[in-house]
Structure 1
Amino acid sequence: MSVSTSGPTSGPAREVLLDPYDYAFHEDPYPFYKRLRDEAPLYHNEELGFWALSRHADVLKGFRNSTNLSNKYGVSLDPASRGPHASKTMSFLAMDDPEHLRLRTLVSKGFTPRRVRELEPRVTEIALQHLDTMLAKARDNETVDYVDEFAGKLPMDVISELMGVPEPDRAQLRAWADAVMHREEGVTDVPPAAVEASINLIVYYQGMLAERRKKPTDDLTTALLEAEIDGDKLTDDEILGFMFLMVIAGNETTTKLLANAMYWGYRNPDQIAPLYTDLDRVPQWVEETLRYDTSSQILARTVVGDLVLYDTKIPEGDVVLLLPGSAHRDERVFDEPDRYLVGREIGSKLMSFGSGAHFCLGAHLARMEARVALTELLKRIRGYQVDEANAVRVHSSNVRGFAHLPITVEVA
């Protein structure tokens, strides 16, 4: 592994290693991040072909510098996901202005805050449906998989509800979405199974679009078909790209948020105990989880023009990774950053949904889902235990969370 580093110090910095595909890194990236922040705030991995920014101030500037750090080749390090085709599956997340602004504005005509607000009662119903099933299995002190039974089902079902996917088809779409994200150890690109799952999702949504053209309904798919500004409308490819983005970015990250909240709540019972009798504080639990162990850990950008960082000129076309997972543990910004403290002041320092022009359009949906899901769960249990020995982490180059989280619960 050929690694070089740039920054204000040298010496031990030569030993710093960041490999987003390494399973040891997936288990606990935070010691790696601390060394990067302290020893190599501008890090260069020659073998994998990227630079990385780890300090809060640098990551924030990176998110907001859409002049020199471009999205147009995608936001993943995986080679197959990068390139001018990235927008086909990542929509406006893989575009720069003015194309980004045009598409985002049109999508916003259909994907409105009002539509999300009106969805909350239905989100509650879906959450209760899955909770009832999970807790019925858990009543006899049986171990249940929180991801399989709840956290992995709710977000995808909510997105399917938004789009108008029939309930019988939702399990299949969840399976395809999971396959798109999964990586076996040592795989540093998009595997064939993920490509196949991606094609299956696109073909399914193409069929939905064709149906909605014939018979419009009151769902997001129809709203996107009808969205128009001064005669400008979304093409089918643009709608499909956004739908795919919702499935991958919206589904995966929210599933990981829900499981991460449960895991760290278990590890920090003193922080969660007061919430059982003060459910209004559940949003604080959500926010601290987003800070402490964010789902979206690593986002890629491509250098455009002249970019100088830490007295180093970064060549045009090189990849720069922004590390919000590291930024949220930066002691230069947060007091006791490695302490899980529900209720701490976070505010605008949070970058789980990015910052600047590409701030996540679905942030309000993710927060609402997490608030509803965790509130309804706490109403129905008196406590829970996580079987840490059998918990299984997701292996992804940019998303952090659990594939399986076995728990036992004390049903209220």
Structure 2
Amino acid sequence: MTLLDATTAYGPIAFDPYDYAFQEDPYPTYARLRAEDPLHHNPVHDFWVLTRHADIQQAVRTEGTYSNSMGVSIDKSAWGPDAHRIMSFLGMDPPRQTRLRSLVSKGFTPRRVTELGPRIEQLTALYLDECLERGEVDWIADFAGKLPMDVISEMMGVPEEDRAEIRRQADLVVHREEGVYDVPEAGAVASLFLIDYYQKMVETRRVRAQDDLTSALIAADVDGDRLTDEEIIAFLFLMVVAGNETTTKLLGHALFHLTRHPEQEAAVFANPEGGHDGVSPWIEETLRYDTSSQMLARYLLEDVEIEGSRAPAGSKLLLVLGSANRDERVFTRPEVFDIHRDKDEVAQLLSFGGGRHFCLGANLARLEARIALAELVRKVRRVEVDHANSRRVHSVNVRGYASVPVRMEAR
């Protein structure tokens, strides 16, 4: 570890979300913070950290204390009153957040998500068949990275020939360089690329509407109030970075962790025609055990005090969702991956946040994962993951794999 933050009876606790070693396995640090320092202060970067489930659950449901007005990222260039320009309503509080989410929901409807089902099935079959034909593939590059990007892009109206480049740029936005405590230059350039791309797409749709989300957002109307171009572009940016990246990481984690537990893997793959029955618990446990969205920032409008520690109003604070989902006060043997976990426990996961900022794309992420993994179970007889040579993404907020080498055989 590179940063000594707090000293307890058991020695110093190092919490540096930019540190590559920490990113490889943050969970032992989370466990110590929950036990020893539940409201933790990082003096070097001057932010506070909440790690217990109860505290985080209260925070996402409490109005008027934990503000989104400065954004959800601790990166210096992303934190501030203009965060909404790239984070959409994630960088707002009510009433601005209420208005924007209401307008966006006019275009991003449950029906639009449900109607994507058949196309998700087609894309899943296409990419999975290609993987099976080759036998040895990279689960991320050849499947898990392609599917969510295609789904989001089709929904938005991005042409097929542009999708690989859009995904490459989105990957650059979340990547962090070791020793650099901000968005690296490549990430800043990628953000500008995506904003410019979506600006041109919105301009095109204003001239000629199509049957896609971009056109639906342009047409969205609540009592005469409509979205500006800037608001639409920010939401599209949020979708491609948050919606695409987190679902890719979910699919990567699902296969990686299940295949480390042969008995559970055998149970899931035992019933290929009833894949959905075994897949849903697999998805939910993956979301709990190693969630894609590890931490979200908040700006404190009031003092917060927990067990003698006080974070003053005006502070930057991190809600560590990845820690909440491993809290031993809520989950039995939380460090164990268990697809048979009690449903009452699974219902307590905080992977998609909570309250008024509960993830708008949660249903889409679950739909994509259910279809993709059920088809995997139906078509694949055997899958071997090269765990030792799998390579993680380096990011502050997002946790997942950049590469997962696999060998698979068709049934």
Residue equivalent to 2:103 = 106
Give the TM-score normalised by the residue count of structure 1: 0.95
How far apart in 1 are the matches of 2:111 and 2:346? 23
Q: CA deviation at 1:370?
A: 0.5
| Residue 159 (structure 2) pairs with residue 166 (structure 1) | yes
Secondary structure, in 3 states, of the residue corresponding to 1:403?
strand
Secondary structure, in 3 states, of the residue corresponding to 1:200?
helix
Q: CA deviation at 1:347?
A: 4.4
> Which of the residues 218, 240, 252 maps onto 2:245?
252
Asked if 2 retains the 8 angstrom alpha-carbon contact of 1:384 and 1:410, the reply is: yes
Alignment gaps of 5+ in structure 2: none
Residue equivalent to 2:320 = 323
Q: CA deviation at 1:226?
A: 0.3
Secondary structure, in 3 states, of the residue corresponding to 2:34?
helix
Percent of aligned positions that are identical? 54
| Residue 229 (structure 2) pairs with residue 236 (structure 1) | yes
Q: CA deviation at 1:238?
A: 0.4
Residue equivalent to 2:36 = 39
Q: CA deviation at 1:2?
A: 5.6
| Residue 224 (structure 2) pairs with residue 224 (structure 1) | no
CA RMSD of aligned residues (A): 1.3
Secondary structure, in 3 states, of the residue corresponding to 2:162?
helix
How far apart in 2 are the matches of 1:11 and 1:284? 39
Residue equivalent to 2:392 = 393
Residues 87-121 of structure 1 show CA distances to partners (whole Å, capped at 9, x for unaligned) of 11110011000000000000001100011001110
| Residue 4 (structure 2) pairs with residue 11 (structure 1) | no
Matches within 5 A, 1:189-338: 189-276=182-269, 277=271, 278-279=274-275, 280-338=277-335
Residues 289-336 of structure 1 show CA distances to partners (whole Å, capped at 9, x for unaligned) of 000110011111111123323233322221111111111111110111
Asked if 2 retains the 8 angstrom alpha-carbon contact of 1:2 and 1:46, the reply is: no
Give the TM-score normalised by the residue count of structure 2: 0.96
| Residue 349 (structure 2) pairs with residue 350 (structure 1) | yes
Secondary structure, in 3 states, of the residue corresponding to 1:15?
strand
How far apart in 2 are the matches of 1:334 and 1:358? 24
Residue equivalent to 1:369 = 368
Residue equivalent to 2:17 = 20
Residue equivalent to 1:62 = 59
| Residue 333 (structure 2) pairs with residue 340 (structure 1) | no
How far apart in 2 are the matches of 1:228 and 1:312? 46
Alignment gaps of 5+ in structure 1: none
Residue equivalent to 2:150 = 157
The amino acid of 2:234's aligned partner reads G
The amino acid of 2:318's aligned partner reads L
How far apart in 2 are the matches of 1:204 and 1:134? 30
How far apart in 2 are the matches of 1:218 and 1:202? 21
Q: CA deviation at 1:129?
A: 1.4
